[in-house]
Amino acid sequence: MAVKIDGKMVSAQIKANLAERVASLKERGVNPGLGTILVGSDPGSVKYVAGKHADCAEIGVNSIRKELPADATFEQIAEAVRELNADPACTGYIVQLPLPKGIDENAIIDLIDPKKDADGMHPYNLGELVLHARGDITTPLPCTPRGVIELLNAYDIDLDGKEVCVLGRGITIGRTVGLLLTRKAVNATVTLCHTGTKDVRKHMREADVIIAAMGSAGFVKPEDVKEGAVLVDVGVSRVFDEEAGRYRVKGDVDKASYEKVSAYTPNPGGVGPMTRAMLLENVVEMAERQL
């Protein structure tokens, strides 16, 4: 029977450890603070930001919120970024994406102080990750890819020498997870598939691990998965459930595929909680570096 990789359980263990580290930091005069910049009132973004601040309260990290209207200009958002860069109470922060249409998201991210980049997505920090294929990295790591690897480690799933098929080339995980997977400490071989890939299902069938991050509900079918593979479902689609009369979150993996694999992450309840936990991990590590 396939092992269900429980992201909620693992993230709870990580947060318990972080709470102890935060208490130790406070004893030494360092008070970690997580900032968020939320533009507009997109329901998904509002809920996600609220969850981050709830996590902060759980482990003793201070919360700093900046909320702007949906019609905020580039300069108004940029000013909020500059304020958090200069705020000593803010150890690290994130700009919640997506931003309203017409706002250059990359230009906003470029303005973030790399030392306060809680998402690990600033070009400087991604460049450091590219440069350091070996040894320790002392810059923030991208949260979702880091969460995937921590989750698999928690279940003793060894990726050394394994063939990993990544579906999707988005910046949140598709284009970044390979940087972590191919580091010497992990040592996996990665194939990145996208809309231009000729025979994506052939690549899936040959993979020891599939990381699905396309946002295409149920894309990975049982016939695409080899016996004993590991499935990591990161995709998020909102699909209308006619029986329930409401929308539900669906992952990229068809649940019928679970019967063939050795382990899988549920969606929701798998990678999502780990992404939030890694955001906190980045902030606590930033505070520890201050010492």
Q: Is the peptide bond before 98 cis (omega within 30 degrees of 0)?
A: yes
Amino acid making up residue 79: E
Q: Is 168 annotated as a binding residue?
A: yes
Q: Is 28 annotated as a binding residue?
A: no
Looking at 55, 117, 119, 208, which residue is catalytic? 119
To the query of whether residue 42 is one of the catalytic residues in this protein, the response is: no
Q: What are phi and psi of 63, to 5 degrees?
A: -110, 135
To the query of whether residue 119 is one of the catalytic residues in this protein, the response is: yes
SS3 for 32?
coil
To the query of whether residue 52 is one of the catalytic residues in this protein, the response is: yes
CB 104 within 8 A of CB 128: no
For the record, the structure tokens of 121 come out as 């997505």
Looking at 15, 55, 66, 96, which residue is catalytic? 96
CB 254 within 8 A of CB 225: no
CA–CA separation, 31 and 60 (whole Å): 9
Q: What are phi and psi of 239, to 5 degrees?
A: -115, 135
Amino acid making up residue 186: V
> Which residues define the annotated binding site?
168-170, 236
> Which residues define the annotated binding site for NADP(+)?
168-170, 236
Residues that are catalytic? 52, 96, 119
